Every structure is written in C-alpha cells, then in structure tokens.
Amino acid sequence: MTDTTFLADKMRSGKPVVTSWCFLRSAMIPEILARAGYDAVTIDMQHGMYDFDATVDAFTHIALGGAHRIARIPVGDNALAGRLIDMGAECIIAPMINSRADAEAFARSLKYPPLGDRSWSPRRAVMLTGQSNEEYLKASNAQTIGLAMVETQDAIDALDDILSVPELDGIFVGPSDLSLSLSNGAALDPNGAATAEACARIAEKARAAGKLAGIFCLSGEKVEEAVSMGYQLISHGIDTLFVDGAARNALGEVSWLKDRVEGKTGAGY
C-alpha cells in the first residue's frame, strides 16, 4: 500500500472509490491498473479466469501497485470468501444474494466472533496490512467489507431484510443482471431508464439503513450518475475492454498499411 488508509475507511468517509475490474488471469494486469491510479482493483472469480492461487498472486501485485484489493466470489462460495480475506482481500463482493438468509450467511463468513464465524489464520492478511496479530484481530471486523450483490427482482423484494443484517456492510448493484431480471429475460439494458430508477431506489434504501453501496458502471456518464445517487464504490474499466480498445486503436492508426498491402493506393513502401 502507498498509505496506511484502509478501503473501509475511504468508503465510510463518503469519498467515492473507483475500482477497475479484472477477468484475465494475469498478475501483471492488476498491478498495471493499480499503478495507473485506480483506488482499487477487483478480481472476478465468478465470471473471470481467476482461481484461488491466481487471485492470491494478484493481491500481492495490487498491493505492490498501491491499490486496494477486492474480489468477487462465485455464487454461494462463502468458504472461499473467508479464505480470500485471510489472503488479504479488503472487500468481498458476493453475487446473487436474494434473501436475508443469503446475506447473513455471507456476512458472517467474513467476521470474527461475536459478529461472525470466521476462524483464525490471517497470515497473509497480516503481512499485507502491516499489522500485528493483536492489531489485526482488534480491527479486522471493521476493516473487512462484505457487499451483497443486488441483481434480481427477488433481491429488490427482499432488500429491506437484506439491509437489516447487522453483520453486512453493504450492497453492490449489478445493472446487467438486474436489467435481465426486471425485464424477465426480455432485454439486457444496464443503462436503461428502468434500471437507473431501480439503482436509485436501491442506493436510497442502503443510505437510509446506514450501509455502504457499490455499483458496476459501463460509462463515464454512469459513474457521474452513480455518485449523484450516493454510491461509494464505483466499478469503471474492464481489462478485456482495455485490451480490445487499445488493439483496435493501434490498428486504426496504421490502417493505411493494409491499403498499401492490398495495392489500393498504388504506392510503394
């Protein structure tokens, strides 16, 4: 880390935190994104190519790059959530949390007693945070953030119950899956008006409950909208899109070369 401020402190201060999102399994990509200036880097273990070992390696490189460490776990894998916290994750995002029972089981997997059921062995977390065992035990429940994803109509219907779980730190909205659920599978419309209205209501309820709120954004305009709604954790920027966009831009800069090769210009090299 480049400073001693924890992700939890930044988010609870009300300052928006911007995280990039990583699908591609490579320790260097998260480090590059961290060094580029992102506040945090999120490793996607649900839809991305990361397994446990690759995620642990990525945490080291994220820390080396000076950013905070976030991971999204596969659906329902609360045992993995606890292991990732032991390995230095500062925030865990859990997909498809649709009930109070889902939220409670997830949240308790991240916290030590009396708030949860997490067992003791934070060897790597202690190293990455620079704390002693005693300091870590005292502070880790507050420093460790668990965000339950709200991305279905069932989750919206149960939102008050989900937000009432005292051990849960907050929620994270997935607009793409949310739009699929709201339309009953008829449309993928993460930037649509109906999705935006739902996101605004979710943020309002989270704030009223004293919980943190995060969201996935697909454009700069959506980032501005999310901040105005009161979201504290904003995901903007995906490694696969970075690579694809940069490659297309680079090829566009030399598009004239293809014309020459195909003899369209009539000019030599």
Q: State the Cα angle at 25 between 22 and 29, rounded to 5°.
A: 60
Residue 90 near residue 70, CB atoms below 8 Å: yes
CA distance 189 to 252: 29
Angle between helical axes of 78-86 and 52-65 (0-180°, round to 10): 40
Structure tokens at 257: 């070369």
Catalytic choice (47, 61, 68, 236): 47
Question: Does 236 participate in catalysis according to the annotation?
Answer: no
Q: Report, in angstroms and rounded to the nearest whole number, the Rg of the chain calculated over CA atoms.
A: 20
Tokens 């994750």 locate to: 89
Residue 168 near residue 144, CB atoms below 8 Å: no
Residue 108 near residue 116, CB atoms below 8 Å: yes
CA distance 123 to 219: 38
User: What amino acid positions are annotated as catalytic residues?
Assistant: 47
